[in-house]
C-alpha cells in the first residue's frame, strides 16, 4: 500500500492526465452530453498533461543519472587513494611521506632504506624545525641465527630470479650485520636529538613485506621489484587497520632499552660499538672481528640508498 501511494505521489501528473481522459471517455460511452469543444479541449488537456509528465520523468532520470555519476566519481576518487607504485615512484612516495610528519613507523627485514634515508632525513627536518619526532622500528632479531638464516634464504630466492651478483648475495652473516647496523643507527641518532623518541623492536618472524607509515600515508613495498607496491592514503580504512597491526606486531616483539647508552662518537669506534651492544644485552657474535664491526658502523651511518641502484 505504501508503495502504491508513493508511486501515485511521484507520478501525480500522469495520474491526473489518465483520470481526466477516462472521465471524458466514460461520459461519451454512457451518452452524457459532451460538446465537441469540451471533448477537444479535454483531449488537448490530457495530451498536455502527458507531455508534462514525460518531461518531468526525463528530468527525474537526468537527476538520477547525475546522482549515480557523482557516486561513481566519489568511488573512483576513493579508489585512487590506494594506488600501485613501481620503479622510481616508490622513492618519490617515501620522499613525499617524509614531508610534514613527526612520526614514522617501520616494519620490515633489516631496515636498509630506513637507516640510509629515512632516519637521517627525518632527524634533519626535526632538528631544523625544532619539533618532536617519534620513530618506531620493527626488524628481525640479529641475535637469532635461525631468523637471520630464514630471512637470507627468503631474500636469496628473489635474488636468484634477478641474477644478482654474488657480492650482493644475502647470507645469514650479511643479514645479521644489516640488522645490527639499524640498531646502531637508532642508538646513534638518539644521542644527537633530544626531541627524538625512538624505539627498536626485534622480531623472530620473517617479514615478506615492508611497511613505512607516516602521518600522511602508508607505503607497502616488497623485495621483488617485479611485484606491486602500494600507497595507502591517511583517510583510508586500510591505513588505520595497519596502525593497529603494526602496534600488535611490536607488542609481540622484543623491545630494546635505549636509555643510558654508552656514548657514541660522531664516528664510533669498534670498542664503543661493542660496549653499546653489550649494554643492550644484544652482544655481537664472538666470530665478528674488528673488521666486521667496522662494516656494521659503515652500514649504520653511511648506507647507500637502495632505490638509487
Could you report the per-residue pLDDT of 210-246, keeping only the tens digit for each?
999 999 999 999 887 677 899 999 999 999 999 999 9
- Mean pLDDT computed over every residue of the chain: 82
DSSP annotation of 306? G
Going through the chain in order, the beta strands assigned E by DSSP cover 82-85, 103-107, 133-140, 196-203, 209-213, 217-222, 229-233, 254-255
**Residues 230/89, Cβ–Cβ less than 8 Å:** no
* Relative orientation angle of helices 172-190 and 119-129, to the nearest 10 degrees: 10
Checking if the pLDDT of 257 tops 70, the result is yes
Cβ neighbours of 40 (radius 10 Å): 10
**Residues 299/181, Cβ–Cβ less than 8 Å:** yes
For residues 270-282, average pLDDT? 97
List phi, psi (to 5°) of 164: -75, 145
**Residues 123/146, Cβ–Cβ less than 8 Å:** no
pLDDT score of 29? 46
pLDDT score of 2? 47
More confident residue, 287 or 67: 287
> Confidence band (pLDDT; 50, 70, 90) for 76?
very low
pLDDT score of 128? 93
Alpha carbons 105 and 203: distance in angstroms, whole number: 15
For residues 256-276, average pLDDT? 97
Closest CA to 145 of 166, 173, 123: 173
Q: Convert the pLDDT of each residue in 127-182 to its tens digit.
A: 999 999 999 999 999 999 999 999 999 998 876 555 556 667 899 999 999 999 99
Residue-level length of the chain: 309
Q: Convert the pLDDT of each residue in 13-64 to its tens digit.
A: 555 655 655 565 555 545 554 455 545 555 545 555 555 555 555 555 565 5
Percent of the chain topping pLDDT 70:
70
Copy the grid coordinates of residue 73. 566519481
- Using the CB atoms, write b or e for 168-204: b if 16+ within 10 Å: eebebbbbbbbbbbbbbbbbbbbeebeebebbbbbbe
Question: For 83-308, which CATH class?
Answer: alpha beta
pTM: 0.73
For residues 240-265, average pLDDT? 96
Cβ neighbours of 253 (radius 10 Å): 19
pLDDT score of 226? 73
For residues 260-285, average pLDDT? 97
Amino acid at each position: 500500500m505504501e508503495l502504491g501511494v508513493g508511486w501515485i505521489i511521484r507520478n501525480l501528473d500522469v495520474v491526473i492526465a489518465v483520470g481526466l481522459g477516462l472521465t471524458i471517455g466514460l461520459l461519451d460511452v454512457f451518452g452524457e452530453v459532451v460538446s465537441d469543444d469540451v471533448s477537444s479541449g479535454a483531449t488537448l488537456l490530457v495530451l498536455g498533461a502527458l507531455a508534462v509528465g514525460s518531461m518531468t520523468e526525463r528530468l527525474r532520470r537526468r537527476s538520477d543519472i547525475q546522482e549515480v555519476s557523482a557516486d561513481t566519481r566519489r568511488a573512483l576518487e576513493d579508489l585512487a587513494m590506494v594506488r600501485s607504485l613501481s620503479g622510481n615512484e616508490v622513492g618519490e612516495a617515501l620522499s613525499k611521506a617524509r614531508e610534514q610528519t613527526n612520526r614514522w613507523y617501520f616494519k620490515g627485514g633489516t631496515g636498509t632504506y630506513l637507516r640510509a634515508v629515512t632516519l637521517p632525513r627525518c632527524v634533519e627536518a626535526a632538528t631544523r624545525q625544532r619539533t618532536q619526532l617519534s620513530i618506531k622500528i620493527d626488524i628481525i632479531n640479529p641475535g637469532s641465527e635461525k631468523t637471520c638464516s630464514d630471512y637470507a634464504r627468503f631474500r636469496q630466492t628473489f635474488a636468484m630470479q634477478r641474477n644478482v651478483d654474488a657480492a650482493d648475495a644475502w647470507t645469514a652473516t650479511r643479514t645479521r650485520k644489516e640488522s645490527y647496523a639499524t640498531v646502531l643507527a637508532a642508538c646513534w641518532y638518539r644521542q644527537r636529538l633530544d626531541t627524538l623518541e625512538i624505539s627498536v623492536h626485534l622480531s623472530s618472524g620473517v617479514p615478506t613485506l615492508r611497511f613505512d607509515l607516516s602521518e600522511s600515508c602508508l607505503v607497502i613495498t616488497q623485495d621483488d621489484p617485479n611485484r606491486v607496491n602500494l600507497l595507502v592514503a591517511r583517510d583510508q580504512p586500510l591505513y588505520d587497520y595497519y596502525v593497529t597491526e603494526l602496534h600488535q606486531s611490536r607488542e609481540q616483539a622484543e623491545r630494546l632499552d635505549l636509555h643510558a647508552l654508552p656514548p657514541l662518537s660522531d664516528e664510533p669506534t669498534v670498542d664503543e660499538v661493542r660496549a653499546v651492544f653489550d649494554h643492550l644485552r644484544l652482544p655481537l657474535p664472538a666470530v665478528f672481528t674488528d673488521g666486521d664491526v667496522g662494516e656494521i658502523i659503515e652500514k649504520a651511518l653511511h648506507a647507500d640508498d637502495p632505490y638509487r641502484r
